[in-house]
Amino acid sequence: MMHLVDCARGALKLYALHLRHPATVPPEQALKVGQEALERLELLDSKAFQLAELYQLVRALQPKHITVTVAPVESGGKNLMVMLLDGPHLMETILGNDPKAIAEMMRIKQGWEKEAA
């Protein structure tokens, strides 16, 4: 089975191809693939996207030898948690409800520099 995000990417690429070259991809096919991708994406909990965003933001900031763990704080709740470990040693735990704010708080508390854009 194709991964969910890959399915959505494929549907967008097919739709773009249809727009650029209408004779190549029939509109019914582009619409069907797009609808299937949307149905699969709607099954995802938005918390999963927030956790992935938080992990990516913190991982991009922290030194590579540090282990990053992210998790929801409670079932159905708004809060997220990030923990930093240096080997078996817990360095930091931060709770919050916005991935960007948590990552920025972690960066400030740890004294990490922002990566060059």
User: Would residue 37 count as lying in a domain?
Assistant: yes
Instruction: For residues 35 and 55, state if they share a domain.
Output: no
**φ, ψ (nearest 5 deg) of residue 13:** -65, -40
Is 74 within a domain? yes
Using pLDDT thresholds of 50, 70 and 90, give the confidence band for residue 95: very high
| Partners of 95 in the β-ladder | 81
Same domain for 64 and 30? no
Provide mean pLDDT across the span 8-16: 88
Q: Which domain holds residue 15?
A: 4-42
> Residue 41: what pLDDT?
82
The per-residue pLDDT for 98 is 92
What global pTM score does this model have?
A: 0.66
* Whether residue 106 sits in one domain with residue 50: yes
Hey, what long-range contacts does 74-82 have (CB within 8 A, 24 or more apart)?
A: 80/47, 80/50, 80/51, 80/54, 82/54, 82/55, 82/58, 82/106
Is residue 71 in some structural domain? Answer: yes
Instruction: Tell me the average pLDDT across 2-19.
Output: 84
Helix segments in 1-117, DSSP class H: 4-20, 27-42, 46-61, 99-110
Instruction: Band the pLDDT of 75: cuts 50, 70, 90.
Output: low
Has residue 21 been placed in a domain? yes
Q: Is there a single domain that holds both residue 73 and residue 23?
A: no
What is the arithmetic mean of pLDDT over 38-42?
A: 85
Number of domains, the chain:
2
Tell me what the mean pLDDT of segment 39-48 comes to: 82
What number is the average pLDDT over the span 2-20? 84
